[in-house]
């Protein structure tokens, strides 16, 4: 056990201050919508035909390999620095959206920039008709995996009044997802979507639950995203009854900004936007100030920045002793190479393809980062 703790400290230790300063352990959490990380072969039952060599994107092996190289570069740099502090181990946990399958994740982690990190994969094949899922990568030196589940998104309407949530609590008090077959979910499947990838374990020895999201697109009614917010809040509450001391981090592409009803409304996610208003069991959204006051976003559309890619956490990451993990800071990850430098989309994130032209870019979204810290014993 002592050897494991020593290795963890060596990998995740950052010293703030000069001689005699308290040593502190820094952990990075990140999220990235990688924009259509598809391989070049057809998956049965999925509408992935655009991303075949014969499809509209003319998705060849060369383009796929370039996409893997580009995305792996970004992932390798996430959470490696915060201010003047360096964190060579990078992100301890990374949530992803828009990945096609386990195969693309395996290929991603074989890239030279990531292969030495030792990341492991959490992925459950989901119901999305287009074939994109959420996933989670984690460094096993920092995070000890205990359980995974995919909680289905349930769209409730007056035709099915008895269908509410995609999970239940069993007789032992444990949260359990309802099982489903691909394309056969309970509830109204008009707005079938990715579900909520829930990953439980111990980060730095402390109990955490991570919920990775990709909420319904802006092409759907706002009520569908408010419905997603409601379900994630209810999932959080059930996990809190199961594990009262656990810290919960939900992350994802919410397809809504921090001030939208799906995030802030009491009947939806009910995230607080002011730390002073946040109880230990509440969700807190640190991105509100960043978008509306600082003008920083993660995607650029019609001449305006949005911040759909959010990492939201429970207030017990404030209300905790200094020798336990607690909130330190957060940031949108930016590098010059992530932005389009010319043409119609100058200044926007450099995506893989735009207007039918392959740009050999990264994603139409920028990643987000959350940093946790604690004093080393």
- In this structure, which long-range contacts are made by residues 118-123, counting pairs with CB atoms below 8 Å and at least 24 apart in sequence? 119/94, 120/145, 122/148, 122/197, 122/199, 123/99
* pLDDT of res. 5: 42
Percentage above 70 pLDDT, the chain = 91
* pLDDT of res. 1: 42
Cα 24 to the center of its chain, rounded Å: 25
Cα–Cα distance for residue pair 269/196, rounded to 1 Å: 13
* pLDDT of res. 78: 98
* pLDDT of res. 9: 44
pLDDT band at 10 (very low <50, low <70, confident <90, very high): very low
Tens-digit pLDDT profile for residues 130-171: 889 999 999 999 999 999 999 999 987 666 667 789 999 999
Q: Are 309 and 299 in contact (CB under 8 A)?
A: yes
* pLDDT of res. 118: 96
* pLDDT of res. 15: 41
Tens-digit pLDDT profile for residues 65-119: 999 999 999 999 999 999 888 899 999 999 999 999 999 999 999 999 999 999 9
CA atoms within 13 A on the CB side of 277: 10
Tens-digit pLDDT profile for residues 324-376: 999 999 999 999 999 999 888 899 999 999 888 899 999 999 999 999 999 98
Lookup result for tokens 């209300």 = 319
Give which of 241, 217, 221 is closest to 167, Cα–Cα: 241
Radius of gyration of the chain (CA): 20
Tens-digit pLDDT profile for residues 185-218: 667 777 788 999 999 999 999 999 999 999 999 9
Cα–Cα distance for residue pair 79/91, rounded to 1 Å: 5
Asked if pLDDT for residue 2 goes beyond 60, the answer is no
Q: What is the mean pLDDT of the chain?
A: 91
Tell me the CA distances in angstroms from 321 to 39, 133, 146, 308, 318, one per residue in order: 46, 36, 24, 31, 9
Query: Which pair of tokens denotes residue 269?
Result: 């996610």
164 phi/psi in degrees, rounded to 5:
-125, -55
Mean pLDDT of 253-265: 98
* pLDDT of res. 85: 84
Tens-digit pLDDT profile for residues 24-54: 899 999 999 999 999 999 998 889 999 999 9
Buried b (16+ CB within 10 A) or exposed e, 348-366: bbbbbbbeeebeebbbbbb
Tell me the CA distances in angstroms from 5 to 14, 37, 94, 141, 205, one per residue in order: 15, 35, 21, 9, 9
Give the Cα-Cα-Cα angle 368, 349, 225 (nearest 5 degrees). Answer: 55
Question: What SS3 class is residue 162?
Answer: coil
Query: Which pair of tokens denotes residue 3?
Result: 């050897």
DSSP bridge pairs for 203: 143, 206
* pLDDT of res. 17: 47
Give which of 215, 209, 222, 220 is closest to 283, Cα–Cα: 209
Tens-digit pLDDT profile for residues 168-193: 999 999 999 988 765 566 677 777 88
pLDDT band at 4 (very low <50, low <70, confident <90, very high): very low
Lookup result for tokens 């995203």 = 225
Percentage above 90 pLDDT, the chain = 78
Q: What single string gives the DSSP state of each residue in 88-125?
A: TT--SEEEEEEE--HHHHHHHHTSHHHHTT--EEEE--
Cα–Cα distance for residue pair 28/74, rounded to 1 Å: 14
* pLDDT of res. 182: 57
Terminal Cα distance for the chain, rounded: 14
């Amino acid at each position: 056990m002592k050897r494991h703790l020593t290795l963890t400290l060596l990998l995740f230790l950052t010293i703030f201050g000069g001689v005699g300063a308290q040593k502190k352990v820094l952990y990075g959490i990140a999220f990235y919508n990688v924009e259509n990380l598809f391989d070049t072969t057809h998956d049965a039952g999925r509408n992935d035909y655009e991303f075949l060599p014969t499809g509209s994107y003319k998705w060849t092996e060369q383009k796929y390999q370039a996409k893997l190289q580009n995305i792996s570069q970004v992932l390798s740099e996430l959470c490696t620095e915060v201010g003047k502090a360096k964190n060579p181990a990078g992100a301890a946990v990374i949530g992803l959206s828009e990945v096609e399958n386990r195969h693309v994740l395996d290929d991603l982690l074989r890239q030279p920039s990531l292969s030495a990190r030792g990341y492991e994969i959490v992925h459950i094949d989901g119901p999305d008709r287009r074939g994109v899922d959420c996933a989670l990568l984690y460094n096993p030196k920092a995070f000890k995996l205990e359980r995974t589940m995919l909680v289905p998104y349930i769209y409730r309407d007056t035709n099915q009044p008895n269908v509410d949530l995609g999970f239940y609590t069993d007789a032992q008090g444990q949260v359990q997802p309802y099982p489903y077959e691909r394309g056969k979910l309970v509830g109204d499947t008009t707005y079938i979507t990715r579900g909520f990838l829930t990953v439980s374990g111990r980060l730095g020895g402390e109990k955490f639950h991570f919920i990775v999201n990709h909420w319904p697109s802006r092409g759907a009614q706002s009520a569908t995203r408010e419905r997603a917010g409601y379900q994630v809040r209810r999932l959080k509450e059930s996990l809190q009854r199961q594990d009262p001391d656990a810290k919960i981090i939900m992350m994802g592409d919410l397809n809504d900004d921090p001030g939208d009803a799906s995030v802030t409304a009491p009947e939806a996610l009910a995230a607080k936007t002011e730390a002073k208003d946040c109880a230990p069991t509440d969700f807190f959204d640190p991105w509100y100030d960043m978008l509306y006051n600082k003008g920083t976003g993660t995607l650029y559309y019609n001449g305006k920045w949005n911040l759909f890619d959010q990492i939201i956490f429970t207030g017990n990451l404030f209300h905790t002793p200094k020798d336990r993990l607690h909130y330190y800071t957060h940031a949108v990850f930016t590098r010059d190479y992530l932005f389009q430098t010319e043409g119609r989309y100058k200044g926007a994130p450099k995506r893989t393809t735009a207007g039918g032209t392959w740009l050999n870019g990264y994603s139409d979204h920028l990643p987000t980062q959350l940093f946790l810290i604690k004093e080393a014993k």
